[in-house]
A and B are shown apart, each in its own frame.
Chain A
Amino acid sequence: MTNSNDNKKSLKSFYWLWAILTALGIAVSLYAPGYLMPESMSQTMHLSVLTMVVFSVAAAPVAAGVYAAALYILRNWTHKGDSVPAAGPAFRESGKVVITWTLTSVLLTVFLLIWGLGALAADSAGSTANPLVVKVVGQQWVWSFEYQGQNGTTVMSNDLYLPKGREVLFHVTSLDVTHGFWAPQMGTQVDANDETITDLHVTPNKLGTFDVRCTQFCGLNHAFMVTQGHVLTPSAFTTWLNAQPARS
C-alpha cells in the first residue's frame, strides 16, 4: 500500500498531463475551425462557428481530464498476471469528487444553455419587414430558385443569387422526395419537403460565391445535387434580376 506522499507525488503527473492535454485541446479548438469550417458569409454562420469554438474550449478540460485519467490509469495501474486484482476505493465514496463533478456538470450545462439562447437572440435573421423572398425548389436532382421579377413576373435560376446586406427569406420546398437545402457558408440548412413550405432566413454579409448542396440522401444522383450561390452587391443583384427572362 502506498502512503499519502506517494499518492500526491503520483497524482502530480496526472495534473500535468491534464494541463498539457487541456492546452492542446484549447489550441485545437481555437485554430482548427479556421481550417475545417467553410468561410463565413453571414452573421448566422459567424455565430455558428463562434459557438463551436466556445463549446469546444469549454469541453477541452473535460475531454482532457478523461484522456489524462485513462492514460494515467493505463500507465500506473495496469495489473499484470492472471490473478483477479483487488478492488480499489470507489470514487462515489469520495464526497469531494462527487460534489465537484456534479457542480461542474451543472455549471457547464447552464453555460451552454445561456450561450445558445444568447446566440439565437443575437442572430437577427427574421426581423426585417421587407426581406427578399426566394422560393427554393428541390427535385431529383437539381435545385431551382424562383424570384419575384419586374411587374409581378417570376424569374428562375439554377444558381442562387443573393444581394449583400439584405435579409433573404427562403421558402423551401420539394417536388418529390425529401431533400436538404444546405448553404454551408451561410450557416443554413433545412429539409425541403414535398407539398410543404419551410421558411428560412439569412442575411449575407460578404461578397463571393458559396455552395448549395443536398443533405438528405435523395436517390440516384444525390451526390451531384449541388450548385453555386453568389452574393452580389445590391446594384449588381438588381442588374442580374432584371436581365433574366420572365417565366410568367
Chain B
Amino acid sequence: MNRTKAIGIALTSVLLGGGALALAGYSLASATPHQTAQKCVPNPTKVGHCTLTISSYPDSLAGGHGKDGGAHPDWVSYLNQDLSVPANTVVDMVVNQYDGGEVLNNIFFDQVMGTIGNVAKYDGVTLSKVAPDHVGHTFTLRGYPGLNGQSGKRIFLNVPLIANEGENAVKIGSGEYPKPVVIEFSFKVGSKGVYQWNCEYPCGSSRVGQFGFAMASYGYMAGTLTVE
C-alpha cells in the first residue's frame, strides 16, 4: 500500500468516525421528550401566575400510559412527567394525590421546602410539614445554575404528599381510586432553565432502597420542569 493511499484511508476513517459521533451528539441534543410537556395555564385573575395540575396514582391505569396502563400497569405514576412553565412567573401548583403510603426513609423530606412561605395546603389546611410515617410520595424539584447551560435561578423544592387512605370512589382511565387529597402550593421561577423532579418516597420496590422500577424510569415518578 503506498503512502498516499494509506493517508487517504486514515483521513477517511477519522472523518467517518467524527461524523458518526457528531450525528449521535446532534440526535441526542435534539431528541424530543418522551411526551408532550404539560403547560402551566396562565391565571386570568392573578397577573404573573399560572396554574399547573398534576396527579399521582398507585398504578399506571389512569390514562397517561395508554390503554390499560401500558407496559407496566402496576407501577406507581404521576400522570404527567414533563412540565412547562413561563419564565419569571409564580407557579400555583395543584397535586391530586390518589395513592396510599407509609414511612419516609429520610425525615428530611417530611418538610415543605422551597415553596412560597415554605408551606402547602392539604385539603385546605396549611402545613409546613407532615407526619413522616404518613407520606405517599413527594414532589421534589431541583435545578442548579450552569447545568445544561441553564441561566435560571437555583431551585430546591420539596412537598410531601400525604398518604391517601380513602376507599375507592372515582374511576379514571381504567383505574379506580379514592377521592384525592388535594395539595396546593406556589413557587417562583426565574429565567429559562430545565429542572429535574422526582419522588423521594421509596415507592419503586425490588431494588436497594426501594428506588427501582417506577422510581428508576422516566415517565413514572420522575420528570422535568422546563422554564421557557
Contacts and interface: CB of A to CB of B under 8 A. Distances in A.
Interface size class of chain A, counting residues whose CB lies under 8 Å from the partner chain: 20 to 34
B217 interface: yes
Contacts of B210: 176
B208 A176 contact: yes
Contacts of A159: 156
Nearest to A194: B208
A226 B147 contact: yes
Contacts of B202: 176
Contacts of A64: none
A220 B198 contact: yes
Contact of A224 (B106, B147, B207, B208): B147
Contacts of B215: 140, 220
A144 B196 contact: no
Nearest to A159: B156
B144 interface: yes
B145 to A, nearest CB: 10
B142 A176 contact: no
A140 B108 contact: no
A139 B208 contact: no
Contacts of B200: 139, 142
Interface in A19-62: none
A99 B227 CA distance: 66
A150 interface: no
Contacts of A140: 198, 209, 211, 215-216
Nearest to B202: A176
Interface of B: 105-108, 111, 113, 140, 142-144, 147, 154, 156, 196, 198, 200, 202, 207-211, 215-218, 222
Interface of A: 137, 139-142, 144, 156, 158-159, 175-177, 194, 219-221, 223-224, 226-228, 245, 247-248
14 contacts: A139-B105, A142-B140, A144-B106, A144-B108, A176-B105, A177-B211, A220-B218, A221-B196, A224-B142, A224-B143, A226-B147, A227-B156, A245-B111, A247-B108
Given A140-B211, A220-B198, 15 more contacts: A139-B105, A139-B106, A139-B211, A141-B196, A141-B198, A142-B200, A144-B106, A156-B108, A156-B111, A158-B156, A175-B105, A177-B208, A219-B216, A220-B217, A247-B108
